[in-house]
Amino acid sequence: MIFFSPRNVLDRWYGLREFMIIGVIIIAFSLVFLLGWFRYSCGLILSAKPARDYTPQVAAANELQFLGVLQDLQHPQERRALDSLRHKLERDYYLLNYLLQHSPAVHAGGESFEQHMIMLDFELMKAYYALASKLSRSKARAALQEMTQVVCYFANTMGERGAWSPVAE
């Protein structure tokens, strides 16, 4: 009885290889479905209309520029101008995150799963913008549009929690 004949080894190798290929296909489809769910969920969160919109008050009180960025995105822009808008959005985003995390009025609430998803969405859109800005201005503008929606979401969250008073106070 021969246990390791070349034919047995080849049969086992091809069986293992088919199993590995099927595993890779399943993982790839799972990742695609997970990404689809994530994008759909973020879209739902960002498109939800709050009972009261605190965004303008929060932006004015903290001298945030994202509302101006939202208006500037309506017009076609060069890549350099889009990069400038991205820098403004990142500044506002990080300032709002800092205020939400360090404000005593909102610290008790903590961050929700939704907020973590939206934070991840902002970082993914930032990476997508870096890629899209080299390929297509319309795709880059779409990424900036979603980044603006994320900043609006956090500004409104801050306003809902009652922490929209100016930073200087």
- Read off the pLDDT of residues 42-85 as tens digits, 9 standing for 90 and up: 999 999 988 888 899 999 999 999 999 989 888 877 888 899 99
Closest CA to 140 of 90, 53, 82, 55: 82
Give the number of other CB atoms < 10 A from CB of residue 165. Answer: 14
Q: Are 35 and 59 contained in the same domain? A: no
* Same domain, residue pair 75 and 14: no
Structure tokens at 15: 């069986």
User: How many domains, in total, are found in the chain?
Assistant: 2
pLDDT tens-place string over residues 90-132 = 999 999 999 888 776 544 455 688 999 999 999 999 999 999 9
- Indicate if 92 and 28 belong to the same structural domain: no
Q: How far apart are CA 147 and CA 4, in angstroms?
A: 59
Phi-psi region of 110 (alpha: psi -120 to 50; beta: other; left: phi over 0): left
- Residue 126: exposure state from Cβ atoms within 10 A (0-12, 13-18, ≥19): middle
Closest C-alpha among 164, 41, 57 to residue 112: 41
Nearest to 85 by CA among 153, 135, 137, 121: 137
Can you tell me the mean pLDDT for 1-15?
57
Separation CA 143–CA 139 (nearest Å): 6
pTM of the full structure: 0.79
Tell which residue, 157, 150, 155, 148, has the closest CA to residue 61.
155
Residue 109 gets which letter from DSSP? T
Give Cβ neighbours of residue 3 (< 8 Å, ≥ 6 apart).
Answer: none
Answer yes or no: do 163 and 139 share one domain: yes
Which among 48, 63, 86 is the end of a domain?
48
pLDDT band of 162, cuts 50, 70, 90: confident
| Domain limits for position 76 | 53-169
For residues 161 and 89, membership in a common domain is answered with yes
